[in-house]
Amino acid sequence: MIMEAPGQFRTGFELGKAVPLSGAYSSIEISGMGGSALPGNLLRVYLADIFRRFNGEHPIAVYQNRFYGLPHEAYQEGCLNFICSYSGNTEETVAAFEEAIFNKLPSVGISSGGVIQELCRKHGVPHIMLPVPFRNFQPRVGTGYFFGAIFGVLAKLGMVKDTCDELVREAEALSREMSLLEEQGKALSERLMGKTPVIYSDTRYKSVAMIWKIKMNENAKTPAFWNFFPELNHNEMVGFTNPQGKFFLILLSDSGENAQIRKRFEVTAKILEHRGILSERIDMGEGSVFTKMFRMIFLGDWASYYLALRYGVDPTPVDMVEELKKMLV
């Protein structure tokens, strides 16, 4: 499941470029919940990198929506709405899509079927059918499909520079690192046993820290928290003056980050170590923003997977989420 994740990008790009869609758009809005929302966070980071690297690229605004309705940005002229739900049945996302349909807003549905596909068919909205590689496939491990599909649409429409071939090569390189990342994740899981993970990053990669937190929640079935420098130095760190429980800091560090941010990583770890909080600094390694992002995400996948096994729980199902859905009916 995790080992094959880098191969998802190629499929996603192909699906996105094949969608029957044309027109001129200047912004996008991504509606989704849980694992279906994560690609939107990562796209914002990668698109910012594209606009920085390539002169002449005009930045597009990326809005995200995790609610039953649409944000006001979805109504802006030139905004293309992506409706993302792996199952196609997420009630918040379905409600947002129904609003988009009622108001005739330009939209693309992305799902593996469900109500989203049915509404697309009924109202003539373009739909991207996501693969379901095996039974009980979880959206949180399908990030590459979603990321690739949305980026493929943007490249097809000329909204961004088409770097799909470059990203496929980078994903293939990451696939050759997976065994090493698995070993690192397994070793980290041992140090996390019996402690609450707290994941910190710099501002650019705060979405990666958030995703680590989510993977710890859903895979290892354990509480976890995330934050980012320098903001956390103005509030959260003070909470460790009187910690109630055992915590373990995971510091996701990029060699290209601001020098003062690097110093904050070091000083914060020292201050908290004196208060009994252990930490581990993880270097994101070499490569592009895309490579660093997904290298760290795959490492988090492995760490949370092996932590689940150490706790004797199945990392796949999210029984509490399913219980909630039944009680909401």
Q: What is the CATH number of the domain that holds 26?
A: 3.40.50.10490
User: 228 and 87, same structural domain?
Assistant: no
User: 189 and 126, same structural domain?
Assistant: no
Q: Tell whether 277 is covered by a domain.
A: yes
| Structural domain containing residue 226 | 180-311
Taking 90 as the threshold, does the pLDDT of residue 134 lie above it? Answer: no
> What's the pTM?
0.95
Indicate the pLDDT class of residue 261, thresholds 50, 70 and 90. Answer: very high
Number of independent structural domains in the chain: 2
Distance CA 170, CA 181 (A): 15
User: 239 and 293, same structural domain?
Assistant: yes
User: 160 and 124, same structural domain?
Assistant: yes
User: 74 and 151, same structural domain?
Assistant: yes
pLDDT at 56: 66
Instruction: Compute the average pLDDT of residues 259-280.
Output: 95
Q: Tell whether 323 is covered by a domain.
A: no
Q: Tell whether 318 is covered by a domain.
A: no
pLDDT at 136: 81
User: 88 and 226, same structural domain?
Assistant: no
Instruction: Compute the average pLDDT of residues 81-95.
Output: 96
- In 3D, which of 73, 60, 2 has the Cα closest to residue 31? 73
Query: Which of 170, 198, 224 marks a domain boundary?
Result: 170
Q: Tell whether 234 is covered by a domain.
A: yes
Instruction: Compute the average pLDDT of residues 263-287.
Output: 96
User: 250 and 270, same structural domain?
Assistant: yes
User: 152 and 133, same structural domain?
Assistant: yes
Query: Which of 142, 170, 198 marks a domain boundary?
Result: 170
Catalytic residues: 218, 234, 325
